[in-house]
Amino acid sequence: MPVDATDDLADVFEYETIAVVGCSSTPGKAAHDVPNYLREQGYDVIPVNPFADEIFGRPVYDSLADVEEAIDVVCIFRPSEEVSEIVDAALERDDVEVVWTQQGIRDDEAAARVEDDGRVAVQSRCMMVEHRRLSA
């Protein structure tokens, strides 16, 4: 089963680099505001979006495969039906430790593949909400 325990979620926030698939350049959208919050908390946020050139003053990658830096966590802001393909790309990388889908996004089969590969899966939870809750 995907990670659900508070202690396990706290461990996720020990990582430093978060690639955000579906990161938005539009303030007011969760896919912009959540990664921006994470940046403000000191995380290295890598935006991934094939339809944007720059977000948060940094270049945007078209896909996870294009990201040159090491990634600890992949945070997904895409519809549930796209999660499986994104998980495949995350599992192609040796550096990804956690795959996290945001609130309302889930794919149980893809999450099982993440865990079967010895990595952590978190589904349908907001990273900002969980970070705030655990930091309180």
In tens, the pLDDT along 117-127 reads 999 999 999 99
Q: Tell me, what's the pLDDT at 2?
A: 47
For 62-91, the pLDDT digits (tens) are 999 999 999 999 999 999 999 999 999 999
Coil vs helix vs strand at 45 = strand
In a domain, 136, yes or no: no
Residue 79 lies in a domain: yes
Q: Which CATH number is 27's domain given?
A: 3.40.50.720
pLDDT confidence of residue 82: 98
Measured CA to CA, the distance from residue 75 to residue 22 in angstroms comes to 9
Confirm whether 1 is domain-assigned.
no
The pLDDT, as a whole number, for residue 97 is 97
Q: Give Cα separations from 69 to 42, 96, 99, 102 (angstroms).
A: 17, 11, 16, 22
In a domain, 99, yes or no: yes
Domain total for the chain?
A: 1
Q: Quote the domain boundaries for residue 54.
A: 6-117
Q: What is the pLDDT of residue 1?
A: 40
125 in a domain, yes or no?
Answer: no
State the Cα–Cα distance between residues 45 and 55, nearest whole angstrom: 10
Residues 73/96, Cβ–Cβ less than 8 Å: yes
